[in-house]
Structure 1
Amino acid sequence: MSGQDQPAAGPGGGSPAAAPAPGETAPDEAPKDGAAEESEERDQPQNAWSARRDLVDHSPRTMRVGTRAGFGGGYTAGDQHGVSGGRVTGDVVMGSKTVHHWTFPGLSTAVSASGEIPRGTLERLAASFVTADGDDFDDLVLRLRRERVLVLSGARFTGRRTAALMLLRAVGATPVLALDRDTTPASLADRLTTRDDDPDPGRGAGRGSGRARGYVLCDLATRRGNALRETHLLGAADRLAEQDAYAVITVGPAAVLEDDVSAADWRPPAAENVLAAHLRARTTDATAGRLLGLPEVKEFLDHGHQLREVAAFAQLLGRYAAGEATEQEVAGFSLASLESQVQEWFEEDETTVHLRDKAFLVALAAFDDGPYALTAELSDLLYGFLQQTENRARVPEVPVFGTHIGKRLQLARAHRYTAEEHTEWGPVTQTKAAFHDERAALVLLREVWTGHPSARPALIAWLRRLADDGRPLVRTRAASTVAVLARTDLPSAMALVIEVWATSNRFRHRLVAVNSLTLAHHIDTPNIPRILDAWSTAEDRRLRWVAVRAYALIGPERPAQALAALRDATRALYRHRGDPDDFDVEMARELAEAVELLLLSRAADEVLADLLSRLDDERAVRDLSLGGFVNACRRTEGDERYGTPLVLSWYARASADDDGTAAQGIARLWREALDDPQYTRPALDTLRDWVLIASRSTTAEWALAALLPRLVTTPTEYQRLSHLLRTMPGEDGNPPPEVAARLLSTLPPR
């Protein structure tokens, strides 16, 4: 839903939202122009129910548990609406970084200078080498024999260097010389010569020696204007033929190759197969089978680790089997590997990971599991802010046509897929992007915020721009990103971002502050309730507004405290009710909507009991209870016009309980609302809607037929309901529906 959703009615039907108090300014307000002023004039608070629906629909997967049920309770199966409940993060991801340094023998792609690769290294790699299922490794061997030089293309850390060495081994090339990475395409043929310092030039080199020489060049550097051409390969092949030698060159997916250069694609084998091969090379088959069955091993494999990490994990498991490593080290290896990868992304220079790619990584962390096109669009926005941080005088430049989606996602260790995305107009199918490891987003945001403080100005400017976006998904992800930052460094996140939004004159900004605090609490950020308690009594009404909204969202896990705070806020509000000019109608509406959300949460029974126990208190508390209840009665399954009312479904289930306490409480609140002059009209209107729904749903009719008799305890109550059922118009001014007569027959005469 958009930020211009009309708010639900408050006590007594409510009235238009009150304007922000005079003199309230927000430190993040942009300079006023005509468009900004018009936007400010149209800015209205989105009603709490719609705002929570957007929060549920658009929060990242790390802040929900599988389905909407992760946000707390409700009455529609699979579509629950509270924002509390399960936790999928904690100190295991958001706490202090785990610092480990692992070695990846035989898998490093960094070959700094020419030199012979030891035979022992080749034999060790061969002992654990596996290929992908259905791979054409044998075809690559035949091609290498035929062409002498082979270009092998694959992403980093997919085992492409090991594959290159095994291809050379398969054609009998020994020894194998690693060429310097500074080798250029133009100098390739010149490097394929017998070394001057070789004490035995005939050893494995030259025709008639009985063995061929092998060359491996990892990560050949190419760029626009310095592409690898067919002429380079032909020259290299001629030089190799003179020596009876072979060469394999590895390149990345983004390598610049002329069209006539045919690179062979390298597909990495399954991580499970690689791990099994490494373990069997280190231990017995029985021990390897036992290790592969460990829960920690299964969890590691589920996170989609790179092959270099798989090899290092096998090394650790071998030490564990020998009693040289602990179970805690095994359990913590997966997260430590992920943290090392994230640090590597942001510590590498521009030649390895470009600033634009780093911006994309941050954007993907914020929009993980979201639409790819949106992530790419907003990553370029962040890229512009980062460029300005590096050089204030620089005009940000964003290439119109940049890196291909597949190459970007390979770098990010992410994947794309097609799925439905919730929108204001219903679900739509979009291409989405997500990290293979769902923990990556949390770890990455923590690393950027705490490990690279110089990026904070650009990140804050970006988040403020996102908070002002017209798309609910964008605003929600701005909030979820700040929630992670708050979990990492609460004082900085509060001072630099959340408080700025919370004191903005724009409802849209304040709502992002609400969602930030709510999601921060959801991932176990400490002290959020304390912040809300302080803000609920603050002099600044904007802070009170934020506190009330947030109470409604985190209240289901602490309903007694939330309701007590809402009552205190209502009492303070009603002290000015005698002066209509001073009475804050907007805040009264917000308080009622907060109670509405609590009544429709997983803590509904406890909330209901609390409201009933205070129903005879002063007028302020009564209005809070009845206003929230009538609002809750308007909500239907799936927010459909003729969906079963959620409170009616609640009543039906409660009636089937042994004691029926909740059912009796619902009936009592209905009677109180119908009998209160301030709520009679909105309550009757809601009951009329229920009757229209019952005309389309047998389930709703049966539930309503069970409820209506409980609403009649006096002649006045009977007359009010019978008059409604006899005279209510049907849809489009038609006569009353037939179900009205059937329901009328259930009323006990008085």
Structure 2
Amino acid sequence: MSEEATAEPPSPSDAPTGAPEGERPGGAEQDGPVSESEALRSLQEGAAAEDAERSEALKAGAIADLIAQRLNADASGTRIGTLALFNDTVSFGGGFHSGGSGRPPRRDGGSVLPLTGTELADHTELFVEPEGYGSALGLLRERHLLVLTGPSGSGREAAGVNLLAEALVLGGAEGGGICHRLLDPAAVLAPGWEPPVENSGYLALVEDGPTGARGFEALPRHLHAVVAALRARGCCLVLTGGQDLAVAVRGDGGETVATHALTPVDPLAVLERRVLGHGGGPEEHAALRARLTAGGVVAALREMPAARHAVRLAADIAAGRDVAAAAAALRDPSEQVRTWFDRHRNPEAVAFALAAAVLEDSGYLTVAEAAVKLRAALTAPEPAPPDVRFRDRLGDEQQWIRLDPDALGQPRVRFRNPMLGQVVLVYAWTGLDGWREPLITWLRRLLDHGDLEVRARAAVAAGVLVWVDHHYAVHRFVTAWAAGESWPLRQAAATALGVAGSRADSAEAVWELLHGWARGGSSARQRRLAGTAANTAGGLLGRAAPGRAVAVLRDALDRDDDWGTLPSVAWGGVHLLHQGQAGPLLDAYLEWSEPQDLSPMVVKSLSAFLFAASRPYETTAGGPADGVPGVPLLLSGLPAHRRAVGELWARALARRPMQDTALLALRDWIDVYADRGGPGTLDALGDLLRDVARRPGSHHERLVWWLDKWAHDRERPSRNAARLHRRLTGRTT
């Protein structure tokens, strides 16, 4: 529009008149178009009410951004910090017999089986003693019975065999003794049990899990009889198992049972011993360590620190196989997850794994609480709170998870391989068909959690599910969230779509969905979908593809006389600014308001610009924009965008209805934000106003009149306005 077509002489009648009359924002949503006055009032007055929610949206977007970057990273580059090595000592190797070349006959109904010479040599010849091995040996020699517990794959069987070997030889067993497997560990609890073969060692492997260990709660009551039988026949017994066995023997009288919690040996020490034997000088060890590091073996064993993996890789090296390929196969998250789910099917273990996948890097208590709620959804109701102790089982069932202390010493839950979390989610979503419904319900409840980070991480997890099967997820839960009456729920949908769209193979489907929502009708539900589309476009997707983002914003905004999407599009523009995309956004606002008339699209575009100009930058945004906290980005970024910002200010100041809002926003720039912006901000603002004043028409007169009025305001005189007034009028005093 030309300045002369609707020229308004600067006068007191230009003063802002306040919000238009009509229905106040916050009432029940109605189907049908929203009027201009209602939308502008909602944008102006609803901003303060939504500040907290929108601030949380920016922070949630920042969290989602960081997580999405990690999810899209190449897992092969992951490195975990080194472990402290235990002191290597020469293991006990000689004088221990298997009972001759043939097996002795089975005794006691076939419940015992001698170890073969090959088994014994494999366990003893290259054994690496774990920390506290000497204490465990002393207990076994003194008590004849030792409960040895440790995580699966920690080398507890090898430790048990070596303990039996040394205890028997040091005890003077003829020929070094014979070692047997006790095939039915619970048999020792039967009345009158005695070891079938004299001067022998017995190794009993108690199955992991509460079922296998539960019977040993009675061990303290039978302990005296069992130990007496072992002493009488010159035998020793090692019961070995996991956390459930440790818990079982800690009941009444448990203090009388000799127990030792095995500290897992460093798998690198195991591998080096297997490759170099008991020899090897410093140079050979250094060369092997360099080879292992270059081949990814060190990284693999840091992520999967079980002795059995070290033994497997050592065998690959000995056979001349490609150790780098073997390490890569070991680290493959998909294979790790598949193997884990094949071994662990109980709801307690799976619930914690899923909670960790969704809430990784959260505090232990937060993850445990979420896991308990998910477990409850998968089991029959219980009359009392379940006795669930996830932490006790982490080292066994959840060896892929570690607890790292934060700055305050509180444990935070993290997978050893940063890619495992999303693979766990993908496996559960696609493979556990009976869990899909409770998983969705559980994620939805997490979106109401009091902790913002929990809500953000749940939304990111939903984004992983959208990526896995876009069509199913969109129709199953994303659209319902995006159209919900709860603004945080719509934000969760936007975050989920942003995460899914950050993957190249699903980006196109997400953009098509957003355009479809943005072009929807004027029902309240369709407006909410359009608003979610605008919010999504202003997030992660907008940073990578700002051109497509502004196209979605235009689709959502260009609805003729329906103004209901204006607030959402204006906020989407603010979010896009925080993503460092001021240039494309300002160019779009210039293009959309180019007619410079009073058509809806012009007024909407300038309203969105003024809203963005009024929003102070928040450090929680986490985007790439270089802003000054508490100062609008369009002010602190003036040197880079002065031409576009100046033109948009000129258009907004030219006439009502935009003029009233523009004058209020401009005075805030002068009196509130210019001083916060630091040295040079007021001068940059003066350069901007000089550019506006030089445009044809009444711009100069209007600015001079308002600056003078603000400078001499009786209630709130403005020194900054006075300074800018002198600059525009050429006065030096």
CA-CA distance at 1:588 after TM superposition: 1.0
Residue 604 of structure 1: aligned partner: 582
CA distance in 2, matches of 1:13, 1:679: 18
* Residue of 199, 203, 207 corresponding to 1:216: 203
Which of 122, 125, 136 is the aligned partner of 1:124?
A: 122
Question: How has the CA–CA distance of structure 1 residues 152 and 226 changed in structure 2, closer, same or farther, with 3 Å as cutoff?
Answer: closer
- SS of the equivalent of 1:151 reads strand
Alignment map for 1:260-409 (pairs within 5 Å): 260=255, 261-281=257-277, 285=284, 288-294=288-294, 296-319=296-319, 322=320, 324-325=321-322, 327-335=324-332, 338-348=333-343, 354-387=346-379, 395=381, 399-403=385-389, 405-408=391-394
1:63 to 68, 83, 103: 68
Provide the rounded CA distance (Å) in 1 between the counterparts of 2:430 and 2:457.
19
**242 and 22 in structure 1: CA distance in 2 versus 1, 3 angstrom threshold:** same
1:265 counterpart letter in structure 2: A
Q: CA deviation at 1:151?
A: 1.6
Q: Mean alpha-carbon deviation: is it higher for 223-232 or for 354-363?
A: 223-232
8 Å contact from structure 1 (residues 184, 222) kept in 2:
no
State the percentage of identical aligned residues: 22
Paired residue for 1:556, among 543, 548, 566?
543
- Give the direction of change, closer, same or farther, for the CA distance of 1:246–1:551 in structure 2 (3 Å limit): same
Q: Hey, what does 1:579 align to over in structure 2? A: none
Deviation at 1:229, TM superposition (A): 3.4
Indicate if the aligned counterparts of 1:188 and 1:236 stay in contact, CA closer than 8 A.
no
Deviation at 1:603, TM superposition (A): 2.8
Q: Secondary structure at the match of 1:88?
A: coil
Q: Residue 151 in 1 paired to residue 134 in 2?
A: no
Q: Which residue of 1 aligns with 2:83?
A: none
More helix by share: 2
Residues 469 and 20 of structure 1: CA distance in aligned 2, closer, same or farther (over 3 Å):
farther
| Structure 1 residue 638 corresponds to structure 2 residue 628 | no
Which one-letter code corresponds to 1:271 in the other structure? P
Q: For residue 561 of structure 1, what is the amino acid of its counterpart?
A: R
Distance 1:472 1:411, change over 3 A: same
How far 1:139 sits from its partner (Å)? 2.5
Q: Per-residue deviation at 1:181?
A: 4.9
> Residue 189 of structure 2: SS of its match in structure 1?
coil
Read off the aligned partner of 1:343 and give its amino acid letter: R
Q: CA deviation at 1:521?
A: 1.6
| Displacement after TM superposition at 1:593 (Å) | 1.4
Q: Could you list the per-position Cα deviations for residues 514-542 of structure 1 after superposition, in whole angstroms to 9, with x for gaps in the alignment?
A: 22111112344512112212222234333
SS at match of 1:254: helix
Matches within 5 A, 1:579-728: 583-585=562-564, 587-617=565-595, 619-633=599-613, 634-638=615-619, 643-647=629-633, 650-651=636-637, 655=639, 660=640, 662-691=641-670, 697=676, 700-713=678-691, 714=693, 715-720=700-705, 722-723=707-708, 726-727=711-712
Q: How far is 1:454 from its partner? A: 1.8
- Change beyond 3 A, Cα 1:650–1:410: farther
Supply the distance in 1 between the matched residues of 2:689 and 2:270 (Cα, whole angstroms).
69
Ranked by relative contact order (alpha carbons within 8 Å, sequence separation 6 or more), the top structure is 1
Report the counterpart of residue 528 of structure 1 in structure 2: 510
Cα displacement string for residues 14-66 of structure 1 (whole angstroms, at most 9, x for unaligned residues): 9625744449xxxxxxxxxxxxxxxxxxxx9788842532423554964245x
Q: Structure 2: how far apart are the matches of 1:242 and 1:429? A: 50
Conserved? CA contact 2:352–2:390, under 8 Å: no
Counterpart CA distance in 2 for 1:10 and 1:601 is: 31
After TM superposition, give the deviation of residue 613 of structure 1 in Å: 4.5
TM-score scaled to structure 2, two decimals?
0.74
Would you say the 8 A contact 1:366–1:441 is kept in 2?
A: yes
Separation of aligned partners in 1, 2:23 and 2:690: 27
The TM-score with structure 1 as length reference comes to: 0.73
Give, as a single letter, the amino acid of the residue that structure 1 aligns with 2:570.
Answer: A
Alignment RMSD, CA only? 4.1
Question: Does 2:420 align with 1:440?
Answer: yes
| Structure 1 counterpart of 2:530, from 530, 536, 544 | 544
Q: Note if contact 1:536-1:548 (Cα within 8 Å) is conserved in structure 2.
A: yes
Structure 1: unaligned runs, 5 residues or longer: 1-8, 24-43, 66-85, 94-111, 195-204, 207-212, 388-393, 421-427, 577-582
**Number of corresponding residues:** 625
Alpha-carbon distance change, 181 to 461 in structure 1, aligned in 2, over 3 angstroms = farther
Q: What's the counterpart of residue 5 of structure 1?
A: none
Distance change (3 Å), C-alpha of 1:442 and 1:744: same
Residue 237 of structure 2 aligns to a residue whose secondary structure is strand
- Paired with 2:385 and 2:137, the residues of 1 have a C-alpha distance of 40
Shift of residue 724 of structure 1? 6.3
Letter in 2 for 1:280: L
Q: Secondary structure at the match of 2:196?
A: coil
Determine the C-alpha separation between the residues in 2 that align with 1:449 and 1:271. Answer: 33
Contact 2:242 2:396 in 1 (8 A): no
